[in-house]
Structure 1
Amino acid sequence: MQNDYNQSMIQKYENSVYKERLGVFKDSQLTSLGFLDLLNVKSLYASECDNITFKHQSNIEQLHIQDSMVNLKHIHNLIHLKYLKVSEISISDFKPLKKLANIVILNLNKTHLKNLKYLSSLQTLTELYANQNEIADVQLIKSLKELKILNLSHNQLKDVANLKYLTKLEQLSLQFNEIIDISFVKHLPAIKQLQLQNNKIMSVQALEFANFNELNLKQNYIQNFNPICKHKKYIKESYNLADQNTPTNILIKIQMKLNAIHNAEDKTLQMKILQTIDIQTMKDRITKSIVKQYDQLKGCFKQLINALQSQYQHSQ
């Protein structure tokens, strides 16, 4: 679930009608795109094109290349480039990317990327999509301090401790890796959405005080998710908006199915703002009273939202 205020810039770029001219090339044998400067092309989409180089296209700000043979050697010539999506391409040399001084959004999914060595210098990046690759190490990612959205799903990650340095992260996707330790989450104060399904997580103790509103922990090895019930303290505080320390992100959706839960106290579901909790098909021994409490949550959630909206309007 993605909120309007959190809509990624990548969607805005791909769904908008550009004010500048747009170049679209498909199934082309073009090897030189120098003429694009004469057309004042700002946005370029190229698919199934062979041997593309970037020697003269200095005006381009948005570039999307798919299913093409690309040589990134001269990509540093794109001095105004802010958005780059190079997907479903086997790239042998990522080194030229380190010179993209103004890049804001970078999408490298399905490019056989093995590490982040040449991306660590991209200090202007706010969104990085490197899913479905072969990344096993994120040691160098700590320099990307401006990142707000990070997708490293479907890789080979085990140790992701250095993610703790990305304190501006709002959306983090790490599903389908081999992660066990998620203690880094304690250091991410801005996190809103956290995708951790299909890993090897056994403990959620690190999530005890995390401030998010969407959490996915499906298909892990979790036996006890009681620490997450600490979020219930946010509910009491949320009724009093006079407190400036009241968290703005409240957990409203949690997915826990296909774990091995055997300990879930009734108080866990006293988080009255929970909108969705999915515990389907878990091999659990959760007490029956939880079912009754969950039925009560629907009405409580509506009541809380009305109270919050009323308090907010009065504070304006």
Structure 2
Amino acid sequence: MGQLQYVDLRDNCIISCEPLKHLTNIQMLFIDNNCIQDLEFITTLPNYKIDWIYYQRTPTASDIQNYQQLSNIGAEFAKHFELKLQKTRELIRTGEQNYDEKMVLKYQNKVLGNRLEIKDDKELKDFKFVEKFNITTLYISWCPNVRFWRTPNNITVLEDVYYCGLKSVRGIEKVKQLQTLGFKINNVVDISCLKELPNLTSLNVGWNRIVDFSPVQHLIDRSQVYKEYQSTPTQQEIEDSKRLW
């Protein structure tokens, strides 16, 4: 058992993972959707790289406040990322929005490898804060105050920028390494700045108010350009998005 490197225990009724502390070679452990009350055992797993823990009955996050001191939290941001956990609602997967807030534990903004996902953050205004991480992929949605200026130039994928009430994408032209961009279901009219992105190969801009598509005409031969919504949104989704416009 001590040689196990991968263990998947998701969606059970486990209340304790104490026996797992002997799995010193474990690298991938999934304990989502259980009833674990004590997460201290995580600090005994030297090779385990944490992704996220949520939907637990853990009364406090104090057990893993020192997790960042472990040897392998992830080379990309081990020196910079301060682990901050909080009890909050986590809308991480469709259909799970109704979990009791008291049962949820998550990163303040969850970081997965070199990817950062942010949802429903009304305080987020730009992405300047991610410069200290080696982040190349950003997924942003339901952040009504976010704008593209001060986006780090090392970002290559900026996607799922949905329901943000965007009226302009001005500033994105400075991110010269950008290859994939998606900001559908917003209120953008002018995309002229996109002609200044030399490496763009994938563009998803459906459900905006774009009148002139000529600024990205030169991309069509080498790009995947999605001008229409790939799956029709429900009427409720459309109504919900209007509150940001």
Contact 2:8–2:30, Cα closer than 8 Å, also in 1 = yes
**Where does residue 126 of structure 1 map in the other structure?**
114
Supply the distance in 2 between the matched residues of 1:64 and 1:77 (Cα, whole angstroms).
12
Q: Which of 1 and 2 has higher RCO (CA within 8 Å, sep 6+)?
A: 2
Correspondence 1:45 to 2:30: yes
Question: Percent of aligned pairs with the same residue?
Answer: 11
1:66-145 map, 5 Å: 66-70=54-58, 71-75=60-64, 76-77=66-67, 79=70, 80-82=72-74, 98-100=81-83, 110=91, 126-131=114-119, 133-139=120-126, 140-145=128-133
**Where does residue 188 of structure 2 map in the other structure?**
201
Supply the distance in 2 between the matched residues of 1:201 and 1:229 (Cα, whole angstroms).
17
* Between structures 1 and 2, the one with greater helix share: 1
Supply the distance in 2 between the matched residues of 1:183 and 1:145 (Cα, whole angstroms).
24
TM norm structure 2: 0.64
RMSD: 3.7
Supply the distance in 1 between the matched residues of 2:108 and 2:52 (Cα, whole angstroms).
19
Supply the distance in 2 between the matched residues of 1:190 and 1:230 (Cα, whole angstroms).
17
One-letter amino acid matched to 2:214: N
Question: What are structure 2's unaligned runs of at least 5 residues?
Answer: 84-88, 98-106, 231-245
Structure 1's consecutive aligned runs of 4 or more residues displaced over 6 angstroms after TM superposition are none
- Alpha carbons of structure 1 residues 146 and 193: separation in structure 2 relative to 1, 3 Å: same
Deviations 1:78-99 (A, max 9, x none): 612339xxxxxxxxxxxxx943
One-letter amino acid matched to 1:175: Y
Partner secondary structure for residue 193 of structure 2? helix
Supply the distance in 2 between the matched residues of 1:34 and 1:28 (Cα, whole angstroms).
11
Supply the distance in 1 between the matched residues of 2:23 and 2:45 (Cα, whole angstroms).
12
Deviations 1:146-165 (A, max 9, x none): 21111112x1233323452x
One-letter amino acid matched to 2:73: L
Partner secondary structure for residue 158 of structure 2? strand
- Alpha carbons of structure 1 residues 180 and 99: separation in structure 2 relative to 1, 3 Å: same
Deviations 1:253-275 (A, max 9, x none): 212237xxxxxxxxxxxxxxxxx
Contact 1:192–1:214, Cα closer than 8 Å, also in 2 = yes
Question: What are structure 1's unaligned runs of at least 5 residues?
Answer: 1-17, 84-96, 101-107, 236-249, 259-277, 279-316
Deviations 1:225-252 (A, max 9, x none): 22122447xx7xxxxxxxxxxxxxx32x
TM norm structure 1: 0.51
**Where does residue 243 of structure 2 map in the other structure?**
none
One-letter amino acid matched to 1:45: F
Deviations 1:177-226 (A, max 9, x none): 11122122211111111111001111101101212111011111111122
